[in-house]
Structure 1
Amino acid sequence: MNRTGPDWNLYRTFLALLDEGSLSGAARALGLTQPTVGRHLDALEAAIGRRLFLRSPHGLVPTETAAAIRAEAEGLAASAAALWRSASAEAGAIAGRVRIATSEVMAVEVLPPILAAIRRRHPGLDLEIVASSRVEDLLRREADVAVRMVAPRQEGLVARRLGQVGLGLFAHRDHLAREGTPTSYAELAAATVIGFDRQTAVIRALAVRMPELTRIDFALRSDSDLVQLAAIRAGYGIGACQVAIAARDPALVRVLPDLFAPSLDCWLVIHENLRGTPRVRAVFDGLAEGLAGHVDR
C-alpha cells in the first residue's frame, strides 16, 4: 500500500463509482471522460493494494474492501464540502454557503418561505438543502444546520427546542364520502390507510406511544413523507400529516382527532464550532424565527 495516501480526487471517483455502478455513469456524474475514471480506479486500487470492484454484466460490483472504506471516503467528501463552504465567504461576512438538513416534507411544505426571507435579509448567502428522512451527521459536517423531529444525542452539538409539531390523521373528504369515516382504531384497521415501509427514529418514537399503529395493514406504503401527503391529497386513503400543513387544504378532513393527536418536538441543531460563524448563525436565527409560526410553543 502507498503510505503517502492516494489523491483526494481518487476517492471522489470511488464514491461516484459506488453511486453510479459503472465507469460511464461515474464519468457523466463527475464531468470526466470514461478513460480518466478508469485510470483513477486503477490508481486507487494500486495505492490500496486491493481490488475495489468486480466487473459483471450489470456493471461494477463493490468488493468487501470497497464496502469497508466507503464510510471513511464519505467522511472525506463531507469534510471537503464543509471546507469549501467555510472558504466561500470572507471572515465575519454573512455570505457564502450554508447547508441545511431537514425532512422532505419540511423542505417542501414549510421551509421555502422561511428560506426566502433569510435570503432577502442576507443576499450574500447561498443555501444548500439536504431533503431526506435520514438524520444528517452534523459532527461529520454533512450539514451546517439541521431541523430535526428527534432530539440529538451526540456530544458536540448545540440544539434549541423550538416547540412541538402536532400530527393527525387526515383524508380527502371525497374518500371519506366513499368509504366512511372510522370512529375507532378497529375501524381504522379495516380502512384504506397510507403508511410507512421502514421504521425511522420518528416512527419508532410514535410506535412506543401508540402501539395500535403497528398493527395496521397499510394499503399504500412509502418511506417518503411527500408521497404519503400526495396520496392523502389525491383521495387514496387516510394518512398521518402535520396538522398545520393539513389545515391549508380545506378538502382534508381530520380523522380520529381524540385518539390520534401526537406531537413531535422540533429541534434546531448546529455544530458547537459553528455557533460563532456569522453566516451559519444568521441561518440558524432565521430558521428559529420563521419556524416559530409553525410550531406550537
Structure 2
Amino acid sequence: MGRLPSPDDLLILLTVARLGRFNAVAETLGTTHTTISRRIVALDKQLGGRTLERSPHGWELTELGASAVAAAEAIEETLGSLSGLIGQDKNALSGLVRISTSDGFGAEFVAPALVRLQRRNPLLNVEMLSATRKVSQNRSGVDLEIVVGRTDVSNAQPIFLANYFLRLYAGAGYAAERGLPETLDGVGQHGFVSYVESALQVAELGHRASQLPMPKSSFQATSIFAQVEAVRRGAGIGLLPNFMVAGRPGFVPVLPDDFQRQLSIWAVARPESLRSGRVQAVIAALKDEVQERQDVLAA
C-alpha cells in the first residue's frame, strides 16, 4: 500500500481551492508562499498527479485535486467537531474566515453580524477587508466577497442580501449658510461630495452615473466615511447611502422627492468556499442582520 497523503497537506490544498492564491493562503495559515508551494508539490507526489493548474481565475482544481479536496473537507469537518467538543460545544465553529466588503455596509451591517456570530463561536477568527469594488473575476484571496451592484461572474455564486438607497444630503450648517437647490439643475450650483471617479470600480456609486449636473466644485474621496464627514462639515451636497445618515443630526435631505438611486448588495463565493460551515454561518448571520434592520435599508 502506498503512503497516505498528509492531512496537513490536504487542508492546505483545501485552503488554496477556496482562496486561489498562494500568498493569501500563506497569510491565512501564518506561513510563506514557498512553504505552501512546497507542500502542494509534496501532495502531488504522494497522490501521483497534479492537484492544481493555473487559469485566468487563479489556481483551479484538477479532477484529482477535486477528489483530494473532498477528502480534505471531511477532515476539516471532523476536526471542527473535535474542536467543538474540546470547547464544550459540538456545534461551535472554529478556524479563520476572510471577508471582503465595502466599507460603509461593512461597518454598519457586516461587522455587527460577525461580532454576534463570533460571540456564539469563540473559536472562530475573522478577517474583514474593506474594498469598494466589483466582484473579482479572479480568485480574490478571501472566502466571501460583499459587493455592490452587478455580479457578472461565471465561476462563483451570487447571494442577494439587500437593496439600499443613495440619496442627496447636505450638512445642516451648509444648508443654513448656502441654502438648498429647489430643482435638480440647481444641484450644479453647489459643491458636490462623491467618490474619486478615476479610482471607482462600481460606476453606479459615482457622480457621473447619477446624471446630475456638473458641480460648481467637487470633494472626492475613496472612503465613504470621509465623504460623510465632508458633507457634515459643509463641503457641499453629497450622494450618500441612506442607511449611514438618515435621521442623524447634522444632515439635511436634499430634494428627497426628486432623486434617489437604488442599489443591491450581494455576497459572492466560489463553490469550495460555500461548502465551508464557517462561510455558510457568515452568510446566515448577514441575512439575519439585514432582515432585522430592513427599516434602516428601506428608509
Report the TM-score when normalising by structure 2: 0.65
Whole-Å Cα distance in 2 between the matches of residues 149 and 210 of structure 1?
15
Cα deviation, 1:262-282, whole Å, max 9, x if unaligned, reads 110111111111212111111
2:274 is the counterpart of 1:275: yes
Gaps of 5+ in 2: 1-19, 32-68, 81-92
Which residue in 2 is equivalent to 1:187? Answer: 186
Aligned to 2:76: 91
What stretches of structure 1 of length at least 5 have no aligned partner?
A: 1-73
| Partner of residue 114, structure 2 | 115
- Superposed displacement of residue 205, structure 1: 6.9
Aligned alpha-carbon RMSD (Å): 3.0
Taking the TM superposition and a 5 Å limit, the aligned residue runs for 1:123-162 are 123-135=122-134, 137=136, 139-162=138-161
Structural mapping, 1:1-297, within 5 Å: 75-81=21-27, 91-92=76-77, 93=80, 94-135=93-134, 137=136, 139-199=138-198, 200-204=200-204, 210-213=210-213, 215-292=214-291, 293-294=293-294, 295-296=297-298
Hey, what does 2:64 align to over in structure 1?
none
How far apart are 1:82 and its partner, in Å? 5.6
For 2:140 and 2:244, the matched residues in 1 are separated by: 30
Say if 1:208 and 1:180 are closer, same or farther in 2 by CA, change over 3 A.
closer
Change (3 A) 1:167 1:138: same
Shift of 1:236: 2.5
SS state of the match for residue 212, structure 1?
coil
Contact 2:135 2:268 in 1 (8 A): no
Structure 1 pair 84–126 and aligned structure 2 pair: CA distance change class (3 A): same
- 8 Å CA contact 1:171, 1:254 repeated in 2: yes
Q: CA deviation at 1:170?
A: 0.8
User: Residues 132 and 291 (structure 1 numbering): CA distance in 2 closer, same or farther, change over 3 Å?
Assistant: same
Residue 231 of structure 1: how far off its partner (Å): 0.8
Q: Distance in 1 between matches of 2:111 and 2:223?
A: 18
- The amino acid across from 1:80 in the alignment is A
**CA distance, structure 1, for counterparts of residue 281 and residue 137 of structure 2:** 17
* Secondary structure class of the residue paired with 1:286: helix
Counterparts of 1:111 and 1:242, CA distance in 2: 15
Q: Is the 8 A contact 2:170 2:238 kept in 1?
A: yes
TM-score of the pair, normalised by structure 1: 0.66
Aligned residues: 222
Please give the alpha-carbon distance, in whole angstroms, between the structure 2 residues aligned to 1:178 and 1:160: 45
Tell me how far 1:79 sits from its aligned partner.
4.2
Residue identity in the other structure for 2:152:
R
Residue 163 of structure 1 aligns to a residue in which SS?
strand
Name the counterpart of 1:64: none
Q: Which amino acid aligns with 1:147?
A: I
Displacement of 1:233 in angstroms is: 2.1
Residues 215-245 of structure 1: CA deviation (Å, up to 9, x unaligned): 3344312222121111112232210111122
Call closer, same or farther: CA 1:100–1:84 in 2, change over 3 Å. Answer: same
Give yes or no for contact 1:163–1:296 (8 Å, CA) kept in 2.
Answer: no
Alpha-carbon deviations, 1:45-87, whole Å to 9, x = none? xxxxxxxxxxxxxxxxxxxxxxxxxxxxx94313434666999
* 1:26-53 Cα deviation digits (max 9, x unpaired): xxxxxxxxxxxxxxxxxxxxxxxxxxxx
Identity among equivalent positions (%) equals 24
Q: Who is 2:9 aligned against?
A: none
Shift of 1:206: 6.3
Q: Could you say what secondary structure the match of 1:181 adopts?
A: coil
What letter matches 2:250 in structure 1? A
> What is the identity, as a one-letter code, of the residue corresponding to 2:76?
A
Tell me how far apart the structure 2 counterparts of residues 217 and 75 of structure 1 sit (CA, whole Å).
Answer: 45
Q: Is the 8 A contact 1:139 1:271 kept in 2?
A: no
- Tell me the distance in 2 between the aligned counterparts of 1:296 and 1:163: 9
Superposition deviation, residue 162 in structure 1: 2.0
Distance 2:140 2:201 in 1: 21
1:138 is displaced (CA, Å) by 7.3
Contact kept, 8 Å, 1:114 with 1:290, in 2: the verdict is: yes
Quote the offset at 1:111 in angstroms: 2.7
Task: Tell me: CA distance 1:105–1:250, structure 2 relative to 1, closer, same or farther (3 Å).
Answer: same
